C-alpha cells in the first residue's frame, strides 16, 4: 500500500462503516444512498456504486479528483458523484456529504414539502429542511438543484421525489445531520397526524444553532 493510500485509509474505512450504519439506522435500503468525504482541495473519497454495504472494504472506496477522475480504487464510484462534487465545489465549508433514502424525510420529499422546525433538533440543519427541485438521479442537474436548495445556510435538503442530502464540516457531522433530519421528519409526521405542530421561530433556531456549535467544547 502506497503512502497516499495509507493516508486515505482512515477516511475510506469510515465510509465503509457509515455505509453499514445507513442500513442499521434505517436511513436506506439495499445499496441505496451514498457517502463521501473531502480528502484535500483536489480529492474526494466516495462510496462505490452498486456494492452491498456489508461487502465494501476500504480498498473498494474510490478516490476521485474534483473533475471526477478516479485515482484510487478498482470499483466505479457512486453514480451520484456529480451531486457530491457539486456540493464540494460550491460549499468550501463542507467536508462530508451523505445521501439517504430515509423513509420519513423522503415522505416529505415526495410531497414536495419542506420540513419546518417543529422540533428543536432541526437546528442541526437550519431553520427548515428545504426541498430541491426535481431532477433525474445521477445527473449534474440534480447536483445543481441540491446546491441551489442548500445555498450557504442549510446543512440538508430534501431531493424531491427521491431522498435526502446532508452536508457538514466532516463525514461524522454530515451523518449526524442525516440522523437528525430523519428524527425530526418522523416527529413532524406524527405531530401532523394528531394536530397542527407548533413551529419554532427563526431567532430561536439561531440561538439553538449557536448552543449546538459550542456543545461539548
Asked whether the beta carbons of 76 and 62 are under 8 A apart, the reply is yes
d(CA 182, CA 97): 15
Out of 5, 80, 133, 153, the active site residue is 80
Q: Verify whether residue 54 is a known catalytic residue.
A: no
Determine contact, residues 86/144, Cβ cutoff 8 Å: yes
* Grid-cell match 456504486, residue found: 49
Residue with the three cell numbers 458523484 = 81
Burial class (CB in 10 A: 0-12, 13-18, 19+), 144: middle
CA distance linking residue 35 with residue 97, whole number of Å:
6
Q: 169: closest CA among 94, 90, 67, 101?
A: 94
In 3D, which of 167, 171, 143, 169 has the Cα closest to residue 86? Answer: 143
Residue 38 contacts residue 88 (beta carbons within 8 Å): yes
Active-site positions?
A: 80
Amino acid at each position: 500500500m502506497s503512502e497516499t493510500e495509507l493516508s486515505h485509509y482512515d477516511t475510506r474505512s469510515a465510509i465503509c462503516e457509515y455505509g453499514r450504519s445507513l442500513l442499521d439506522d434505517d436511513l436506506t435500503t439495499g445499496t441505496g444512498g451514498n457517502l463521501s468525504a473531502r480528502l484535500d482541495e483536489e480529492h474526494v473519497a466516495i462510496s462505490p456504486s452498486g456494492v452491498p454495504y456489508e461487502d465494501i472494504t476500504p480498498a473498494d472506496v474510490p478516490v476521485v479528483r474534483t473533475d471526477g477522475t478516479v485515482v484510487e480504487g478498482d470499483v466505479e464510484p457512486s453514480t451520484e458523484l456529480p451531486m457530491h462534487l457539486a456540493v464540494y465545489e460550491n460549499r468550501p465549508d463542507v467536508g462530508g456529504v451523505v445521501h439517504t433514502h430515509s423513509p420519513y424525510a423522503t415522505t416529505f420529499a415526495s410531497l414536495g414539502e419542506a420540513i419546518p422546525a417543529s422540533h428543536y433538533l432541526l437546528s442541526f440543519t437550519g431553520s427548515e429542511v428545504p426541498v430541491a427541485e426535481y431532477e433525474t438521479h445521477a445527473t449534474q442537474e440534480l447536483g445543481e438543484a441540491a446546491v441551489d436548495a442548500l445555498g450557504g445556510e442549510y446543512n440538508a435538503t430534501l431531493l424531491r421525489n427521491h431522498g435526502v442530502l446532508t452536508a457538514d464540516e466532516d463525514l461524522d457531522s454530515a451523518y449526524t445531520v442525516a440522523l437528525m433530519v430523519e428524527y425530526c421528519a418522523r416527529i413532524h409526521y406524527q405531530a401532523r397526524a394528531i394536530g397542527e405542530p407548533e413551529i419554532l421561530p427563526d431567532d430561536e433556531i439561531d440561538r439553538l444553532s449557536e448552543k449546538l456549535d459550542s456543545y461539548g467544547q
